[in-house]
Amino acid sequence: MTSDSTLHLLATLLGDRLSVSKSERDNHGRSESHFPLTPPDAVAFPVSTEEVAEILRICTASNTPVVPWGAGTSLEGHALAIKGGICLDLSRMDRVIEVNAEDMDARVQPGVTREALNEELRSTGLFFPVDPGANASIGGMAATRASGTTAVRYGTMRDNVIGLEVVLADGRIIRTGTRARKSSAGYDLTGLFVGSEGTLGVITELTLRLQGQPQSISSAVCAFESLEGAVEAVIETIQTGIPMARIEFVDAATALAVNAYSGADFPAKPHLLIEFHGSESATAEQAELFGEIAKDHGATGFDWATKTEDRNRLWSMRHKAYWAILASRPGSRAIVTDVCVPVSQLARAVSETQADIEASGLPAPILGHVGDGNFHAILLMDENSPKEREIAKGLAHRMAERALALGGTVTGEHGIGMGKLGYMRAEHGEAWDLMGEIKAALDPQGILNPGKVVP
Q: Which of residues 117-156 bind a copy of itself (CB under 8 A)?
A: 125, 144-147, 151, 155-156
Residue 194 contacts a copy of itself per CB under 8 A: yes
Q: Is residue 403 a contact partner of residue 393, using CB atoms and an 8 Å limit? A: no
Number of residues forming the site for a copy of itself (CB under 8 A)? 95
Residue 341 contacts a copy of itself per CB under 8 A: yes
- List the one residue from 195, 198, 229, 450 that touches a copy of itself (CB under 8 A): 195
Q: Which is nearer to a copy of itself, 43 or 346 (CB)?
A: 346
Q: Which is nearer to a copy of itself, 150 or 219 (CB)?
A: 150
Separation between Cα atoms, residue 174 and residue 4, nearest integer Å: 30
Residue 191 contacts a copy of itself per CB under 8 A: yes
Binding to a copy of itself in span 71-100, by CB under 8 A: 100
Buried b or exposed e, range 354-386, using 16+ CB within 10 angstroms: bebbeebebbbbbbbbbbbbbbbbbbbbeeeee
| Stretch in the footprint of a copy of itself (CB under 8 A) among 12-20, 302-310, 334-342, 391-399 | 334-342
Residue 410 CB contacts under 8 Å (≥ 6 apart), including other chains: 339, 400, 403, 404, 420, 423, 426, 427
Residues in the chain: 455
| Stretch in the footprint of a copy of itself (CB under 8 A) among 59-67, 110-118, 258-266, 370-378 | 370-378
Q: Is residue 255 a contact partner of residue 266, using CB atoms and an 8 Å limit? A: yes
Nearest distance from residue 221's CB to a copy of itself, in Å?
23
Please give the C-alpha separations between residue 179 and each of 67, 151, 212, in angstroms, as whole numbers: 29, 22, 17
Q: Which is nearer to a copy of itself, 386 or 436 (CB)?
A: 436
Nearest distance from residue 200's CB to a copy of itself, in Å?
8
Q: Is residue 176 a contact partner of residue 194, using CB atoms and an 8 Å limit? A: no
Nearest distance from residue 316's CB to a copy of itself, in Å?
26
- List the one residue from 159, 303, 382, 401 that touches a copy of itself (CB under 8 A): 159
Q: Which is nearer to a copy of itself, 206 or 442 (CB)?
A: 442
Binding to a copy of itself in span 101-120, by CB under 8 A: 101-105
Separation between Cα atoms, residue 382 and residue 121, nearest integer Å: 42
| Stretch in the footprint of a copy of itself (CB under 8 A) among 65-73, 252-260, 264-272, 419-427 | 419-427
CB atoms within 10 A of CB 228: 17
Phi and psi of 80, rounded to 5°?
Answer: -85, 135
Nearest distance from residue 175's CB to a copy of itself, in Å?
6
Q: Is residue 270 a contact partner of residue 251, using CB atoms and an 8 Å limit? A: yes
First to last CA, the chain: 22
Residue 224 CB contacts under 8 Å (≥ 6 apart), including other chains: 230, 233, 269, 270, 271, 272, 294, 297, 298, 299, 300
Residue 160 contacts a copy of itself per CB under 8 A: no
- List the one residue from 84, 278, 298, 363 that touches a copy of itself (CB under 8 A): 278
Q: Is residue 90 a contact partner of residue 79, using CB atoms and an 8 Å limit? A: no
Separation between Cα atoms, residue 220 and residue 317, nearest integer Å: 12
Nearest distance from residue 376's CB to a copy of itself, in Å?
13
Q: Which is nearer to a copy of itself, 180 or 355 (CB)?
A: 180
Separation between Cα atoms, residue 51 and residue 12, nearest integer Å: 12
Binding to a copy of itself in span 422-441, by CB under 8 A: 423-424, 427-432, 434-435, 437-438, 440-441
- List the one residue from 377, 378, 410, 448 that touches a copy of itself (CB under 8 A): 410
Nearest distance from residue 277's CB to a copy of itself, in Å?
8
- List the one residue from 378, 403, 447, 448 that touches a copy of itself (CB under 8 A): 403
Q: Is 98 exposed, middle or buried (0-12, 13-18, 19+ CB in 10 A)?
A: exposed
Nearest distance from residue 264's CB to a copy of itself, in Å?
30
Residue 4 contacts a copy of itself per CB under 8 A: no
Binding to a copy of itself in span 218-277, by CB under 8 A: 235, 238-241, 243, 277
Ranges assigned E (strand) in 292-331? 299-305
Binding to a copy of itself in span 281-300, by CB under 8 A: 281-282, 285, 289
| Stretch in the footprint of a copy of itself (CB under 8 A) among 251-259, 293-301, 355-363, 366-374 | 366-374
SS3 for 161? Answer: strand
